[in-house]
Amino acid sequence: MGRMRLLVTGAAGMLGQAVVSAATRLGHDVAALPRAELDITDAERVRRALGAVQPAAIVNCAAWTDVDGAEADEAATTRVNGDGTANVAAAAAALGVRLVHVSTDYVFDGTKTTPWLESDPVAPLGAYGRSKLAGEEAIVAAGGEHAIVRTAWLFGAGGTNFVDTMLRLAEERDEVAVVTDQVGSPTWSGHLAPALVELAERRGDAGVFHAAVEGSCSWNELAVEAFHVAGAECRVLPTTSERFPRPARRPAYSVLGTEREPGVRLPAWQDGVGAYVRERLAVGAGR
């Protein structure tokens, strides 16, 4: 695919930064709009921004991503993830612009024991999942060409994430307790971002896509792998969700698989952890 104009919303966030970087590296003309320049909850500003940029495609990375915070303020979460997404979808549909939108494994209830496929029934357990599902439904209702990409357990540079939190704790403590009873698909932003750009290029291929990483693990195993790569001397103790309650319920099993051809298939989660931890250590060494 040749050079295209790409609009990235939420461009200052963890995933937004990675998408801007990947799209630029792939030779596209990128309009990177952080929240300060484009608040997607303002429908008129969204319409004006799209009209001014005239992109061939949009990658919508603007989102409320605080899962526990969403429980305390579902209305504010839904204003961004539901209504804000609806604004982007409506403006994109009106201009015939392809929309690539990032959604979540938390639209599922976690009751399966095999990977969730694109056609599986959705039943979010919490406010965050409900708000993201509202966004998905708004995109379909808008009737424009779209790719809804569900991803999971995202980590990477430029934002707070589990791997980062664990590595920080390892500097302060000898041991951490991490749950073993939630299993998912840890996804590095550096792997997901180029896949999103590729989907932006893939006109005509529409619907829901799962960004399926190879393999799966528990949060506990993810911490163990991060410490192993970083050479951190910190033990990871097992605990359960019951013993470690959080405001938001998480699905017990939210591993993403895909039934699409071509689907979005990403490298092994361990490769992502390795790449991210090494990148993080290199940045630390260069301080």
127: in domain = yes
List b or e across 3-38, with b for residues whose CB sees 16 or more CB atoms inside 10 angstroms: ebebbbbbbbbbbbbbbbbbbeebebebbbbbbeeb
121: in domain = yes
Decide if pLDDT at 170 tops 60: yes
pLDDT tens string 14-45: 999 999 999 999 999 999 999 999 999 999 99
139: in domain = yes
60: in domain = yes
C-alpha pair distances (Å), 284 with each of 135, 155, 161, 255, 278: 37, 17, 17, 32, 10
199: in domain = yes
pLDDT tens string 72-92: 999 999 999 999 999 999 999
Task: Output the average pLDDT for the chain.
Answer: 96
234: in domain = no
67: in domain = yes
End-to-end CA, the chain:
38
CATH code, 32? 3.40.50.720
Query: Based on the structure, what is the number of domains in the chain?
Result: 1
287: in domain = no
Domain residues for the domain of 22 are 5-161+186-213+254-266
User: Which residues are marked as active site?
Assistant: 128
